[in-house]
Amino acid sequence: MGAPEIATAVLDVRNLSVAFATHTGPVAAVHDVSFTVAPGETLALVGESGSGKSVTSLAVMRLTPPAPRTRLDGQALFRSRDGTVRDLLAVPERAMRALRGNEIAMIFQEPMTSLNPVQRVGDQIAEAVMTHRPVGRREALDRAEHLLARVGISDARRRLAAFPHHLSGGMRQRVMIAMALACDPALLIADEPTTALDVTVQAQILELLQDLQRETGMAIVFITHNLGVVAEIADRVMVMYAGRIVEQGEVGPVMRAPLMPYTQGLLRAVPTLTVSDGFVPLTSIPGTVPSPTALPPGCAFEPRCPYALPGLCDATTPPLDDAFDGQQVRCLRWDAVAALEARP
């Protein structure tokens, strides 16, 4: 059998499902998720905590607990620099280690728990270089200095000797970005990299990622719950809820006219600072994301949805339907909801 075709995409995830073994039996955290990311493109994964965003990214990176504690189904097809297409869920662990940190890199949520607290940051970046490149320690440290300067850290040579606790939160996040970019990856997965940062540093980090993407052409999967960030940096957006994609499409159409009631609720919870809008009260989505061990029947969002119809929405799990402007939406009433939202 020949290598699978994934057109021009760097990553093509097909029907990914993730289940964890528990003392009461397997619990599904991600259900039948499919998406692609092209070179130079940014795909944003959006949703509340517990929606399956981080589990999806960890599964792609093969950083979930090994079998039998975790079951991964589906495919995650990745195109290497040499054009070879491999299924990340099926390659041996040794081959995955050669890709991880080299052609695929990840920025984790909290750098203070991701960086080694007793190792100098220069050594940590150099280690990533020496693991995947045939270079010595001095050359790797020179590369680390260049990377620190590239991500906007001043006096980079001196900072090589710093420990993580010597640095501010924004600088630690820049070190994490430098480490992720050490080997010029084709795919960068950024898991809420700006959540713990103030808005000024957040804007600097986002600008940095965009500049580096323009320089290298890497694809970015950006995981966030901040729709303002999505509007600023993403080309496409994928909204997740209870482990499933509930809406996806180009950022413009999804942000202007969301079709899934859950996406509409997320957008209504974003503050507006436009004076012409007057005082617009913030609304919240009632309830919480259901536990994967106790999903409601039918549509998982039905208990929280203002448009739900008894006997319909609680009876059938809706498919992901094609809708307007290339959007896809998982809602049995999306056309009726769109008509109601369009009324003055």
Domains delineated in the chain: 11-234 (3.40.50.300), 258-342 (no CATH)
Give the integer Cα–Cα distance in Å for 254 and 246.
12
- Give 46-100 pLDDT, tens digit per residue: 999 889 999 999 999 999 999 899 999 999 999 988 889 999 999 999 999 999 9
Give the integer Cα–Cα distance in Å for 285 and 256.
19
Q: Provide, rounded to the nearest whole percent, the portion of the chain with pLDDT above 70.
A: 94
Q: What confidence tier does 1 reach under pLDDT thresholds 50, 70, 90?
A: very low
288: number of Cβ within 10 Å = 11
- Give 207-232 pLDDT, tens digit per residue: 888 988 998 899 999 999 888 889 88
Q: Which residues pair with 320 in a beta bridge?
A: none
Give the integer Cα–Cα distance in Å for 71 and 28.
9
Q: Which residues pair with 46 in a beta bridge?
A: 224, 239
* 275: pLDDT strictly greater than 60: no
pLDDT, position 223: 94
Nearest C-alpha neighbor of 332 from the set 343, 341, 321: 321
Q: Which residues pair with 43 in a beta bridge?
A: 221, 236
Cα dist from 113 to 63, 106, 142, whole Å: 16, 14, 25
pLDDT, position 342: 63
pLDDT, position 242: 95
Structure tokens at 234: 């993403």
Cα dist from 15 to 34, 238, 250, 258, whole Å: 5, 15, 20, 24
Give the integer Cα–Cα distance in Å for 212 and 218.
8
pLDDT, position 201: 79
- Give 141-179 pLDDT, tens digit per residue: 999 999 999 888 889 999 999 999 999 888 898 898 899
Question: What is the length of the chain?
Answer: 344
Nearest C-alpha neighbor of 56 from the set 98, 86, 14: 14
Nearby residues of 104 by Cβ (< 8 Å), 6 or more positions away: 60, 61, 78, 88, 185, 186, 187, 188, 189
Cα atoms in the 13 Å half-sphere on the side-chain side of 127: 9
Cα atoms in the 13 Å half-sphere on the side-chain side of 210: 12
Give the gyration radius of the chain's Cα atoms: 21
pLDDT, position 109: 78
Q: What confidence tier does 2 reach under pLDDT thresholds 50, 70, 90?
A: very low
Nearby residues of 73 by Cβ (< 8 Å), 6 or more positions away: 15, 16, 17, 18, 19
Q: For 302-316, what is the mean pLDDT?
A: 93
Give the integer Cα–Cα distance in Å for 247 and 256.
13
* 317: pLDDT strictly greater than 50: yes
- Give 32-41 pLDDT, tens digit per residue: 999 999 999 9
Give the integer Cα–Cα distance in Å for 338 and 260.
9
* 5: pLDDT strictly greater than 60: no
DSSP letter assigned to residue 290: P
pLDDT, position 196: 66
* 200: pLDDT strictly greater than 90: no
Average pLDDT value for the chain: 89
pLDDT, position 263: 94
* 111: pLDDT strictly greater than 90: no
* 343: pLDDT strictly greater than 90: no
Q: For 237-259, what is the mean pLDDT?
A: 94
Give the integer Cα–Cα distance in Å for 229 and 190.
12
